[in-house]
């Protein structure tokens, strides 16, 4: 089982984070979508691997992507 240290404080001011740069230092922003803990090692490793490839572009989408999206929207919203 992977263990993550959610108690580790990672200073975010001065890193370009809108969450931490938008307000003065005496305000504690409580945004849900911008987490203040490190990404899982597997995610970091996958990003390193992709970045090491050094060629970025527009990959083809999976063959069934449009079909799956349409099925999901039909199921949720008829």
DSSP states of 48-68 as a string? HHHHHH-----PPPPTTHHHH
| Domain ranges, ordered by start, for the chain | 18-77
Q: What average pLDDT score do residues 15-27 get? A: 90
- Tens of pLDDT, residue by residue over 42-56, are 999 999 999 998 888
pTM above 0.85, yes or no: no
Dig out the tokens for 30 from the structure.
């409580």
> Among all chains, which residue has been given the structure tokens 């305000």?
27
What 3-state DSSP class applies to 30? Answer: coil
């Amino acid at each position: 089982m992977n263990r993550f240290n959610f108690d580790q404080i990672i200073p975010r001011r001065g890193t370009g984070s809108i969450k931490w740069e938008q307000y003065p230092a005496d305000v504690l922003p409580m945004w849900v979508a911008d987490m203040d803990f490190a990404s899982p090692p597997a995610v970091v490793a996958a990003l390193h691997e992709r970045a090491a490839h050094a060629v970025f572009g527009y990959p083809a989408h999976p063959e069934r992507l449009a079909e799956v999206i349409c099925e999901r929207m039909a199921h949720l919203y008829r």
